Amino acid sequence: MNSFRELNLSNPLLNALDDLGFARPTPIQEEAFPVVLSGKNVVGIAQTGTGKTLAYMLPLLRELKFSKQVHPRILILVPTRELVLQVVEQVNTYAKYMNVRVMGVYGGTNIKTQALAVAQGMDILVATPGRIYDLAISKAVQLKEIKKLVIDEVDVMLDLGFRFQLTNLFELIPERRQNIMFSATMTDEVEELINDSFIAPVKISIAISGARLETIEQTAYRVPNFHTKANLLSHLLRDKDTFQKVLVFVTGKKNADLLYDLLEDPYAPEMGIIHTDKSQNNRIKAIEDFDSGKNRILIATDVMARGLDLATVSHVVSFDTPNFPENYIHRIGRTGRMEEKGNAILFFTDREEEYKLAIEVLMLHEIPLLEMPEGIEISHQLLPEERAKSGDNKNPHRNAKKDLAGPSFHEKIAKNKKVNLGGSYKREIVLKYTKPKTRGDKFKNNKKK
């Protein structure tokens, strides 16, 4: 398809797409449009960065008629607050020339304020599952007019433990509705949710979850430990002409904070950090500063950066190698978006090499290995999890002879073989006064007396 005009869109939508500079639909947008427009249940599997939000919003906005009703007609569920804000902004951009009311609700803010806001009415409600469930249970928002339910980034939603809220929300929404679900991966849990809640969905799959993104150049460095990785990253970031906008992924909030501390001295004025322990205001500011170009570097955990539409990320650095290969695919999907060229760099240790191999098997592509640049300080400082454990057979300091297992018991010496019977006097008393088991024993005992 050469143009959005072939989709028979309204002029307000076409004008908004022209303003955005979108010339032609991506494969997921092209395939999803007629299916979503038909009103059938849809399950879309596509890589991050392929335009999934526009894929479901174009047909929904095309069919949305003007209404003054208070209760929402379209409910869009996303896993994080940041994605709520992003989707609301995107929908407002797509509906720039339409009379459409869009609102977002999420946790971490005053629920009473949000209850007052939703009471004013809206056409499209974007929400995290926990907050919309709380608002619905308290009757602050009515879901009885929902005609279209969209669940975006459903695999992340299930990973975050929102299965309970989702299944309970399904009970509050009319059964006669269109279900639209998009995900980057088809896990067993996602498959189970589809089978339990969707009726005969049409599945659209654009590239399997492990498909290599051709627009991204991938490279890797073998690095001995965390602190040496920090030294290598600091060295690479000095080249500001090449590393213009760098998203650094770290597994875990603790290690993300540690990396920020290690890089803070040279890069603090141009670096931000985002994870779930940061306040809402700090998280929003970190994303805005990075997206606008004010900050060149953003350190993030996987959950926080999943699905975010960040403009023109030149490099994605996987500071550690994720133990689930699909997470690597999600990470590198932040660069090379919308058919632009991108770069992905992977750091891995000897312990992480098996994870790297799993990624290469999934992608059917070997990530080229680069030599460590000269002058990188090799640190001997290790994190607790990097230190060899007492039972680790790779510990070079282990005394093999000392650790050899012996017999589980030893033969007793002669003096310890004796059994303590309690002394002769005690034995006689027990024999004399023991309760007889039979009447014959009783007669025998009385005879002895």
For residue 421, the model assigns a pLDDT of: 56
Q: Render 172-234 in DSSP notation, one character per residue.
A: HS-SSSEEEEEES---HHHHHHHHHH-SSPEEEEES-TT---TTEEEEEEE-SSHHHHHHHHH
Residues linked to residue 335 through DSSP beta bridges, in sequence order: 313
Pairing of strands 102-105, 124-127: parallel
Average model confidence (pLDDT) for the chain? 84
The pLDDT of 103-119, averaged and rounded, is 93
For residue 396, the model assigns a pLDDT of: 46
For residue 329, the model assigns a pLDDT of: 83
Confidence of residue 82 (pLDDT cuts 50, 70, 90): confident
CB-CB contact of 36 with 56 (8 Å) = yes
Please name the helix (run of DSSP H) or strand (run of DSSP E) that holds residue 342, with its range, or none.
Answer: strand 342-348
Please name the helix (run of DSSP H) or strand (run of DSSP E) that holds residue 127, with its range, or none.
Answer: strand 124-127
- Domains in the chain, start-ordered, CATH in brackets? 4-206 (3.40.50.300), 216-382 (3.40.50.300), 420-448 (no CATH)
pTM value is: 0.68
Separation in Å, CA 22 to CA 27, 92, 114, 183, 395: 13, 16, 33, 23, 56
Quote the percentage of the chain above a pLDDT of 90.
52
Euclidean distance between CA atoms 289 and 213, whole angstroms: 27
The pLDDT of 43-57, averaged and rounded, is 83
Pairing of strands 246-249, 216-222: unpaired
Residue 412 has pLDDT above 80, yes or no: no
Confidence of residue 226 (pLDDT cuts 50, 70, 90): very high
Residue 363 has pLDDT above 70, yes or no: yes
The conformation of residue 391, written as its DSSP 8-state character, comes to: T
The pLDDT of 348-359, averaged and rounded, is 95
The pLDDT of 320-335, averaged and rounded, is 85
For residue 397, the model assigns a pLDDT of: 47
Model confidence over 24-35: pLDDT tens digits? 898 889 999 999
Residue 315 has pLDDT above 50, yes or no: yes
For residue 449, the model assigns a pLDDT of: 46
Burial 253-272 (b: 16+ CB within 10 A, else e): bebbbbbbebbeeebeebbb
The pLDDT of 282-303, averaged and rounded, is 90
Q: Residue 84, exposed/middle/buried by CB under 10 A (0-12, 13-18, 19+)?
A: buried
Euclidean distance between CA atoms 365 and 90, whole angstroms: 34
Q: Highest mean pLDDT: which of 62-71, 179-188, 380-389, 426-435? A: 62-71
**Cβ atoms within 10 A of the Cβ of 96, count?**
15
Confidence of residue 424 (pLDDT cuts 50, 70, 90): low
The pLDDT of 97-125, averaged and rounded, is 94
CB-CB contact of 35 with 204 (8 Å) = yes
